[in-house]
Structure 1
Amino acid sequence: MTRYLTFIALMATVGVCQALEMLGQTTDGYVKAHIKPPPRTVFEVYLDVKRNPYGALGTFDFSHSDEQSKTCYRVLGRRSAGPDDVRQVTMASEQGHALCQHLLGTLYEAGNGVSQDLYRARMLYLQAAPNDPNAYVELGRMARDGVGEPVDFVRARALFRQAGPGGVVGLGGLMEQGKGGPQDVQGALNLYMQTTRNFRDPAWGAMRALLDNGMSLDTAQVEKYNQLWISGFQSLQQMKIKRDASLKKFRYTEWMRLTVSYRFPVEQGRPAVSLVESSGDSQLDETVLRVLDKLPMDDPYMAPAGMRTPDMVAPIILGPGFFGS
């Protein structure tokens, strides 16, 4: 059965929500990364090989648009926090800005731009948490890993629950391991599936790890999984097109439409793309096919038993202003 992915260029957005909640190293790895060279950004630390798949450290909400939030977001992306960065974040923190309190706590925990002070980090997380629930993720992680306090898995579970969606991966990890309460791997899987909102977000990643170890989803969960998979497929296609320099070089005097079809191997893998309907410009067609061939959709689509991943047919519309000015 062929599925049609409606792809309207003017309204499509790149799916980058994965950046809102990222998995990272254990606390020790995080701290060492900020003390020893070479310096790395906070994001690079969060994404570093995921040695501990339940080490959700530095979960931030990137939806705020006020100036203080923007300032703290900029500091979050620095390779190391300088004196002016610390001053600005501290000022916002002292004014009661929860996100900046949370960020300042990570600086003190890591010794990044300031002297390491785990007690002060914890106090900042506690101040931030009522208005920034993601700060509970840090508190839960500290309790789970014994950072500046005795290990307390029961308390860690409670704190991860208070964090809401941001704490799901931490809570689910303890459920999988039977730490701080009964072992409940199926409950963890259900929690991940209930929480995941985007293809390859942290809850998706935790869910995929369990599926790779032989667990399975029920019918409703498979339907949600496939909907997110298709949405991720669309976003990946859009991103590949938007970022390709060779497509930006074309002179678009009018809107042009072509249609492509993706066929996956019998054993799930990266799809081969072919042209279904030409744009009328063979050079543009060939460039689009080159850009989109073998899209990295390594997570499998969940086709019924004995059936292969269906072909995906996608109209693509390119034109003036599509790539920006």
Structure 2
Amino acid sequence: MLKTVSLLLFVAALAGCQSLVRPSDYDSSLVGFRCMWLAGQKTFEPDNLRYIERFAAYGNTTCMAMLGKLYQEGGHGVDQDFGKARALFVASAKKKPATNVLLGQMAERGEGEPVDYAKARHFYRLSGNNAALALGRLMEKGKGGPQDLPGALALYLGATRYCGDEAWQAMNRLRLAGQPLTEEQMKRYQQIWLTDFLKLQSRRMAVREVFEAVNATGETKNVRLCYRFMSGSGTPQVTMIKGSGDANVDTWIMKAASRITMGEAAPLTGSSGVQEIVAPLVFAPQDTQRMMGMCGRKPCR
């Protein structure tokens, strides 16, 4: 009973007793970022701890979480105390659900209490996409509940921001191991892949030689390229199916296109084993002049 009361008093002192003189920006993202940065410093500085403690007491959710991390790990001017860490995480999570990932980690590791994978799943779900990888891992292994490979794949794909990020790699690992995508998941997969492919194409075409070749003609140039991807490959065969009418322009465009590769991120090819993408491109002198002003004499990367 005494321990429970002391923890409640600890949280109240940090989160409940809001000072009348606290700064107006106490819960700003900038203050939170500073707490994250200070908590990550390898060399302990007493002023850093005091800053984190002060804004945690004001009620900054990120600073509360960072102070909890310090208690969780120990050092940095505080003794390891899982009870205080958990209390801070709970207080932070009330306003910032993403903090639940830290509570999930404590439950999964058994920090301050027995390992509880079911509780870890619960907190990871509350955290949202922030904990998709951690939750998916438990679902893959059947820890804390039934094994659920389709559910894990859906989590990974839903959390993917771009081709090749951790969530994409986890999703693709299951897909290549034989876990099928639903029709909606295939659409999302292709949408993410195509968006990143087009961004990559734009970057690869933004090179000095292409700009100079177009500017030399003084005319807008239209070309049409075909990218042919084979199953499982992110590197296409490139052909020019409609040239610009200027051999120098076409040569430099093809050289730029030959550098395009998505690495291990391959498009879905279906039963044909082939995915072709036809890309119409327009190069206008005014556009290339503007880009030359931005890039100077070096390639824009």
Structure 1, unpaired ranges of 5+: 1-63
Aligned to 1:91: 54
Of 171, 176, 179, the match for 1:207: 171
Aligned to 1:179: 143
2:275 is the alignment partner of 1:309: yes
Output aligned runs, 1:89-238, within 5 Å.
Answer: 89-111=52-74, 113-115=76-78, 117-119=80-82, 120-238=84-202
2:294 is the alignment partner of 1:295: no
Offset at residue 295 of structure 1 (A): 2.1
Aligned counterparts of 2:60 and 2:219: Cα–Cα separation in 1: 46
Output aligned runs, 1:22-41, within 5 Å.
Answer: none
User: CA contact under 8 A between 2:133 and 2:167: conserved in structure 1?
Assistant: yes
Aligned counterparts of 2:253 and 2:42: Cα–Cα separation in 1: 40
Q: Percent identity?
A: 28
Offset at residue 291 of structure 1 (A): 7.7
User: CA contact under 8 A between 2:201 and 2:257: conserved in structure 1?
Assistant: no
Segment drifting more, 191-200 vs 284-293: 284-293
Aligned counterparts of 2:278 and 2:75: Cα–Cα separation in 1: 47
Aligned to 1:286: 252
User: CA contact under 8 A between 1:160 and 1:170: conserved in structure 2?
Assistant: yes
Under a length normalisation based on structure 2, what TM-score does the superposition of the two structures give? Answer: 0.67
Aligned counterparts of 1:148 and 1:279: Cα–Cα separation in 2: 72
Aligned to 1:268: 233
Segment drifting more, 262-271 vs 171-180: 262-271
User: CA contact under 8 A between 1:143 and 1:151: conserved in structure 2?
Assistant: yes
User: CA contact under 8 A between 2:52 and 2:63: conserved in structure 1?
Assistant: yes
Offset at residue 198 of structure 1 (A): 4.0
User: CA contact under 8 A between 1:154 and 1:179: conserved in structure 2?
Assistant: yes
- The number of residues matched between the two structures is 259
Provide closer, same or farther for how the CA distance between residues 282 and 187 of structure 1 changes in structure 2, counting only shifts above 3 A: same
Which structure's residues are more often helix, by fraction?
2
User: CA contact under 8 A between 1:271 and 1:293: conserved in structure 2?
Assistant: no
Aligned counterparts of 2:281 and 2:122: Cα–Cα separation in 1: 47
What letter matches 1:298 in structure 2?
E
Q: State the Cα RMSD in Å.
A: 4.0
User: CA contact under 8 A between 1:258 and 1:285: conserved in structure 2?
Assistant: no
Q: CA offsets per residue over residues 73-97 of structure 1, 9 Å max, x none? A: 5547x66365254444333322211
Aligned counterparts of 1:284 and 1:69: Cα–Cα separation in 2: 51
What letter matches 1:264 in structure 2?
F
Aligned residue for 2:227, secondary structure, equals strand
User: CA contact under 8 A between 1:118 and 1:147: conserved in structure 2?
Assistant: no
User: CA contact under 8 A between 2:163 and 2:193: conserved in structure 1?
Assistant: yes
User: CA contact under 8 A between 2:205 and 2:253: conserved in structure 1?
Assistant: no
Aligned counterparts of 1:134 and 1:205: Cα–Cα separation in 2: 22
Provide closer, same or farther for how the CA distance between residues 167 and 282 of structure 1 changes in structure 2, counting only shifts above 3 A: same
Provide closer, same or farther for how the CA distance between residues 258 and 69 of structure 1 changes in structure 2, counting only shifts above 3 A: farther
User: CA contact under 8 A between 1:268 and 1:309: conserved in structure 2?
Assistant: no
Aligned to 1:49: none
Offset at residue 285 of structure 1 (A): 6.5
User: CA contact under 8 A between 1:274 and 1:289: conserved in structure 2?
Assistant: no
Q: CA offsets per residue over residues 119-164 of structure 1, 9 Å max, x none? A: 2333322221112212111110111122343211111111111112
Which of these two proteins has the greater Rg computed from alpha carbons? 2
What letter matches 1:109 in structure 2?
Q
Aligned counterparts of 2:75 and 2:112: Cα–Cα separation in 1: 17
User: CA contact under 8 A between 2:100 and 2:124: conserved in structure 1?
Assistant: yes
Of 56, 59, 67, the match for 2:30: 67
Under a length normalisation based on structure 1, what TM-score does the superposition of the two structures give? Answer: 0.63
Aligned residue for 1:310, secondary structure, equals strand
User: CA contact under 8 A between 2:232 and 2:266: conserved in structure 1?
Assistant: no
Aligned residue for 2:189, secondary structure, equals helix
Aligned counterparts of 1:292 and 1:154: Cα–Cα separation in 2: 50
Aligned counterparts of 1:131 and 1:163: Cα–Cα separation in 2: 12
Offset at residue 262 of structure 1 (A): 3.2
Aligned counterparts of 1:292 and 1:114: Cα–Cα separation in 2: 55
Provide closer, same or farther for how the CA distance between residues 67 and 171 of structure 1 changes in structure 2, counting only shifts above 3 A: closer
Aligned counterparts of 2:64 and 2:221: Cα–Cα separation in 1: 49
User: CA contact under 8 A between 1:256 and 1:279: conserved in structure 2?
Assistant: no
Aligned counterparts of 2:192 and 2:256: Cα–Cα separation in 1: 25
Structure 1 consecutive aligned stretches of length 4 or more whose deviation exceeds 6 Å: 252-258
User: CA contact under 8 A between 1:69 and 1:99: conserved in structure 2?
Assistant: yes
